Chain A
Amino acid sequence: MARTVWDSTLGKKTVMAVSGLIMLLYLVVHMIGNLKIFFGAGEFDHYAHWLRTVGEPFMHYEWTLWLVRIVLVAAVVAHAVSAYQLSRRDIRARPSKYVHKRPRASYATRTMRWGGVILGLFIVWHILDLTTGTVHPGFRPGHPYQNVVDTFSTWYGNVIYIVAMLALGLHVRHGFWSAAQTLGAGSRTRDRALKTVADVLALLLTAGFIAVPVGVMTGVVS
């Protein structure tokens, strides 16, 4: 069964939709959490500490956080692998181009692929920067507020982050609506509502995430 699903174009697309929606749900929560930075180092660092103690005493220290991390890594890998395999297949199915070029409405597709690659690279950089601190000079574990301020005090930190968040907005805009179609949840009567939700989600996520570097750049957060 799992084999037939994975072998089918529709099955891979379903994997992509489900993993995409899992990441989307996480990003909404993550974005709201990030906004605590506007309430000072105390509240933000306390929130970051709480993330490690969620579920106690049932869960041990950091268990919940690791559970979320495992689900997210699985989602990223499943999403990227199915995106890669489907894209390869699509290119093979249409090897020769038309001589007469005309503007195609495939803007969404192209930004989905390149946007996806940008997001993938961003995810790696983001973890090395603010989780492990590997690429973060002067990283202080347990002091996320200071680390965030440091990152957004560099020009490249701001550029990488803002570009990635714009890519995220575009990706979510087409992705959320696409996932609804892939999962068979779209319909003619529901189409406008789905597109509106996709636009609102994309806008809120992008604006919410970008608010943090803008806050640091303008000195509201320091």
Chain B
Amino acid sequence: MAKGDPGVTGRGRRAAPRSRKGATGDPQLVQLLTADGERIESATGPDGTEYRVDFTDEEYRGLYRDLVLVRKLDAEATALQRQGELGLWASLLGQEAAQVGSGRALRTQDMAFPTYREHGVLYCRGIDPIMPLGLFRGVDQGGWDPNEFKFNMYTIVIGAQTLHATGYAMGVHMDGRTGTEDGEAVIAYFGDGATSQGDVNEAFVWASVFNTPLVFFCQNNQYAISEPLERQTRVPLYQRAGGFGFPGVRVDGNDVLASYAVTRHALDNARLGQGPSLIEAYTYRMGAHTTSDDPTRYRIASEVEAWQAKDPIARMKAFLTKQKIADDAFFAEVDEQARTESVHLRERVLAMPDPEPVTMFDNVYPTGSPELDVQRAQFTKYMESFEGSAH
């Protein structure tokens, strides 16, 4: 499953609501795999949608592989920042399942609009993990073609991308690319903090009134830098959707199976022309906000430990082991692959050249600017004046 599209096998299916609830006993939370690695056959969302997945063993192993790989690559990036090779890193630690589950739920034709933390989604789109590192190293500002990868550039300004996703989805709709099984859908990622931004609320309005094929995927990792969720909301975030006129669901964001199921369902509804929805992936940011942050100033160790027990990878491993879907040799092989890929990533980061300073004048305008051409020429001449000097 690591590279393939799992197709309809894992698609969440709509069925009559059943009384059986997730093992957490939390009626709000869609869960298919408990923290102990117990499989729940199906879970019911707040609107009665029944979620289930039906993966082959190979697909289960593929999801596990994804989880381990994105965590390892993320850890490598953190290490590279510590060694001064990246200027900054926003770690996804703890959020692997939300990202892999939703990322794998995307179909090839679907479009994603990430924040700055969706390295796991990027990986699941089959994109080389080196791609966003230029931004964090400071050699470029993203620099990839969103249409080529069906993955927009990272957006640092909180919430802005939700409007872009909405507009893109309006375009999909206007192009007549919804209403069929092979229609297109769009996913917009954002955080719990972002839900306070005007842009995000405007995106909700637009998406709703234009019935856009859009999934709002909020990773509620409980913090916006130092501010806990309570500073942004007094209702569960998924319930905000109702006021805007579309469905909302809260999923266990540390459960890759449930994250997959709810996202697949929401995307397929969207592509069929049934409009937007909001997914709140309930998870936890296990690391610092970014490498510049010191979370010990605002949260206590016991809270982090409690979430450690809900680790997305450990539960998947427990499940695979108990069900005899994978053995030690498999786990060792995955670890080895993760190690190799992270070493490879490191080598390529170290080899990333600094840009030529004069390139800062490139691409300011698609049609150029004579004024800027003059500035560039002056700059070049000025830089040449140092050549051969002690500078």
A binds B: no
